Each structure stands twice: as structure tokens, then as C-alpha cells.
Chain A
Amino acid sequence: MIQVEGLSKIYRVAEKQPGLAGTLRHFVRRRTRDVTAVQDVSFRIEPGEMVGFLGANGAGKTTTLKMLCGLIHPSAGEVHVAGHRPQRRQAEFLRRITLVMGQKQQLLWDLPPMDSLRVNAAVYGIPDGVAQRRINELADLLELGEELTRPVRKLSLGQRMKAELLAALLHEPEVLFLDEPTLGLDVNAQARVRQFLAQYNRRTGATVLLTSHYMADITALCPRVLLIHQGRLFHDGPLEVLADQLAPEREVRLELESPVEADALAGLGRLEQLEGCDVRLLVPRDQLTAVVAQLLDRFPVRDLDVTDPPIEELIGGLFRQGRV
């Protein structure tokens, strides 16, 4: 469904020194330099696959997604999506794809999402009856109801994101490019969006390429991941292989009823922090359940939280350690 061969993108950016002198110099003699955002990236994605696209900020994820959907032209390389060359942006191609970019919205701000959905239905040539049926189905999956008839500006971030997804999927695209679809959402909304994407994939067989800052999005949805760093592709394969390298440990935060000594926590993971009743441990993934059970058994726990460190940190650590 997606074939990428030797894809590169080089941007020309202006360089300006700070201060008045720098401004004047920039005005008289504009200096630019070439920045390579994506370099010689190749991969294939089969129909129906859900693939995670990982990388730190500025790694080249969004630039690649924009090239795959035809928003920007590659500097070199070949891209084919659903049998089309995206940069031609033919109507037939545009009907088969969608791009969801975090908070960038296509919904009219002052009108209810329903108005924007009617426009999309007309633009994509979806008959009224079919559009209404799809809206009902997708709204049901996304748990959207009366929100569709409230002005977008009155909706919460999570409700807006779900309405954006509905608008982006109304024409039942075969290829979904999702750039941070859960960014800024609370935990419940994130879970709901994840669940929805999995259901959509199962129901329609759509191909999904997803970027996210949240490891949980990737682990829940994508058996295969691509890892990009400084524009180059470093990993293309099963998530488990990368997950072990990326996040071999999980972070356990505890708030205890009373302070404990460090010795008492020996053998329960790596102690990162101990301040009175607050404890932070890094526990190997495969021992997590056993360690949490022991913690709850041995100590009076007021609060317990298990998280993955932010993906940026994990990837940064991976490259610093030279493990990729």
C-alpha cells in the first residue's frame, strides 16, 4: 500500500544572528543553509498494517508524513501510496487517504462539527444517506453525541480531537496518516481514541501510519514500528524488539503512609529517588507485576503510579548509549 524508496527532503532555511547588527546584515545579505530533514528513507507498508512511526522532535516524522500524503514534494526518492504518486495530489488519490495532524483542525471553529461534516460529505461526493449512516457509526465508536451539534469552540480538547477524527474518516480512507492524534488529551480520551483506531482498522482494513509521543499509543496499536533519528531510518521491525531496547524498565512512583529506609526497598528494582514517603523505582518490565504485588503487600501504600518515561527521553537515551 505504501512504498518508499530513497526518500529525502532538504529544506533551505534562513540564518540570522541576534541583535540589530545581525538584523541589518540579514537584511543586506540574506544567508541560508540547507537542512536535511529526511535522508534516504526506504520502507514498505502492506495493506491493513498499523505501523508506529517513532522519533524525537525534529527527527523527520512529520516531514515524512507530509511527503507521503503529498503536502510537500520530496527532494529525492520515490513514494507510492495506494498506487499513486502523492505529490500529484490527484482527486482519486486524495479520496483514498487522510491526514490528522494533532491540533491542526479542519472543523469550522464557530459552527457545530455537523456543519463541517456536511461540507466534507459534499466535497467527497458521499450521498446524504450514506454520510449520515457513517456519521452515526463513527460517532457511536467515538462516543460523540450532542457534541456534534455544539459549536466547536465550546468543545473540550478531547471532544474536538474526536470530532476531527470523525471528519477525517468520513470518506472511509484506505490510508490513515496520523500525526500525534492523542497529543494533549487526558488519559481517558487517549484510551478512547486508541480503541477507536483499533476498531476502525479492524472494521475497514485501513492502513495506518501513526506518530505519537505516548509509548502507550504505539504499544496498544502498532505491532511494527519505524524509528527515525536525524532524518535517517534506524529501525524497521517488530515493536517488541525495539521496546526492549527503548524501555526495558518502567517507572513506579509510590506514596507511602510512612517513610521507609532504602534497605527495605532492596531487590524491588532500581531506586531512583527516596524522599520521606515518596519513592521512585525503575523496575524491569518482566518483573513489574511481581514487584508491584510485593510493594502493595509489604508497605502501606497511599498511591501508586506506573508509567513509561516520555518517548523523547527513551529515544534520546537509546542513541546516547549507542544501542541503535
Chain B
Amino acid sequence: MRVFGLNRRIIRVLLGSQYAHMLEYRAEIALWALSGVLPFIMLSVWSGSDARSGLGLDGSALDRYFLSAFLVRQFSVVWVVYAFEEDALLGRLSPYLLQPLHPLWRYVAAHLGEQLTRLPFAALIAAVFFAVQPQAFWVPSLGGFLLAWLATWMAFAIAFLFQSLIAALCFWSEKASALERLQFIPFLFLSGLLAPLTAFPPAVRAVAQWTPFPYLIDFPARVLAGQPVDLLAGFGAQLAWIVLLLPLVLLLWRAGVRRYSAMGA
């Protein structure tokens, strides 16, 4: 039986092949993992004791927040718009559109394969972090870890759907990735990657909470770091964004396919 076009066999085979595919790019993925150390740079910027207390994250709390932000980012990075744009331009999308499986599942599998490939490199970087900052070491409770894992996956789902929405615009504009670059600036500031949201003025925080950005990094990172956080509100907002984005993506995709003229094919 298929659910959303998938069954266990398709999931297993698709994930297996995409993981094998991504392993071929392991050196590149290691560099991507390394290039995600922005939270550590921001940690050094915020490390003064005044800044720590100003953020309300004393002691090791700030170190743990930024390490968590790094890990959440590692497993919620999305690049579907670039892959999709290239496939559409080179005509590789055509064979995928002619198979009885929604092409977006292939991109989901590619992302999950890439995350699995990234795992050892992210773990290595975290180990180096703890070696340098042993006082920051902590082991989250099993419940806390599972909640953080779920929050990270939901963050990935929001980011994937949001970018798929932009990717579907490739059916109208061949360079939809420019829009993705445009949303990167608010993402950078409002996601919690540069600073925890508590660092921003209340008015900015209030606005940010109506955007998907804080639920991509700040919320899951706080859950992982074991900091006080309103779980119900956080997961509720994540679910709301997924429920809002999913039908939009499917509708835009359907309209886009109607318009598709197999560019470059």
C-alpha cells in the first residue's frame, strides 16, 4: 500500500541509493559541514561576560546554545531549489515527471542521504568543540534528545517546503533561486543563527514569531540545549507552518507542471 505515493520498499531503496550517491561527494559534504561553523564564530563574538548575562545565557548556556544551533543547522540545511533549478534547466526533470512517484520525494531522499553523510563530520566537529570547551559538555536526557530530534526534523520539513515553494516558481522563472537568496538575510537574522532571539528587541521578537525563521534554528536549538522553552507553542507553530506550506507547495507544483515546457529538453 502506498501513502503519498510511497511504501516501505520505495523509501528503503530510494534512501539507500541517495545515501550511496551522497557518499560519492563525502569530501565536498565534509567541507559543507565545516563551512557551517558560523554559530561558533558568533559564540566568540558574544563570549564576553556582559554579553552572556545580557542574553540571559550565563555560564555554559550560551556555548551549548550555539553548539546546538550548529547541529540543528547541519541537519536542516536545504538546497532543493538549486538542485531542482539545475534539473529543470538541463531537462533531467522530464524522466522524473514521467514516473509514478512525485519528483519531490527524490529530493527529500537526497537531503536525507546527505544528512546521513554529514553525520560523522558534524559529530567530529562537536567533539572538537567539547575538547576545546570541556565545561560546555552535556548529555541531554533521552526525552529531551527525542524532542530536539523531532523539532529539528520539523525545522527541516518547514525549510524544505518553503524552498520547494520557491523551487516550483522555476516553472515560471528559470532563475527562481534568486528569491531564495533574498530570503537568506531575514533567515540569518531571525532564525537564531547569529544570536539567540532573546538578543533582539521585543518588537523584533514579536515580528519574528510570525515568521517561520525562529522555528528553523532557535526553537530546536533551545530544546537540544535543554533551555526553558514553551514546547507546546514551539511545536504548534512548527506544525502550523507545515500545514500551511504543504498544500501551497502541492498547488503551486500542480499549476507549474501544467505550464512546464521541459526547458532545455
Interface residues of A (CB under 8 A from B): 11, 62, 66, 69-73, 89, 91, 94-95, 97-99, 101, 104-106, 108, 110-111, 115-116, 118-124, 168
Contact = CB atoms under 8 A, between A and B. Distances in A.
Contact of B95 (A62, A99, A110, A115): A99
Contact of B258 (A73, A95, A101, A120): A73
B17 A111 contact: yes
A66, A95, A168, most chain B CB atoms within 10 A: A66
Contacts of A121: 13
B100 A124 contact: yes
Contact of A71 (B5, B25, B90, B260): B260
Contacts of B10: 122-123
Contacts of B98: 69-71, 89, 94, 97-99
B262 A72 contact: yes
A91 B100 CA distance: 5
Given A71-B97, A71-B98, A94-B99, A104 B260 contact: no
Contacts of A123: 10, 99-101
B21 A108 contact: yes
A155 to B, nearest CB: 15
B21 A99 contact: no
Interface in B22-52: 24-25
Given A71-B94, A111-B24, A95 B260 contact: no
Contacts of A115: 17, 20-21
B103 to A, nearest CB: 11
Contacts of A119: 13-14, 17
A71 B25 CA distance: 31
A187 B16 CA distance: 37
B235 to A, nearest CB: 33
Given A91-B100, A122-B10, A106 B258 contact: no
A124 B9 CA distance: 11
Contact of B13 (A94, A111, A122, A168): A122
Contacts of A99: 94-95, 98
Contact of B261 (A72, A108, A168): A72
A95 B100 CA distance: 7
Interface string B89-118: 011101111111100000000000000000
B262 A108 contact: no
Closest CB pairs A-B (n = 8): A106-B95, A91-B100, A110-B24, A122-B13, A115-B17, A122-B10, A123-B101, A94-B100
A119 to B, nearest CB: 5
A119 B99 CA distance: 11
A98 B94 CA distance: 11
Given A72-B262, A99-B94, A99-B95, A118 B13 contact: yes
A111 B97 CA distance: 21
B124 interface: no
Contacts of B90: 104
A116 B13 CA distance: 9
Contacts of A62: 265
Given A70-B98, A101-B91, A106-B96, 11 more contacts: A71-B260, A71-B265, A72-B260, A98-B98, A104-B92, A104-B265, A111-B24, A119-B14, A121-B13, A122-B10, A122-B13
Interface string B169-195: 000000000000000000000000000
B100 A105 contact: no
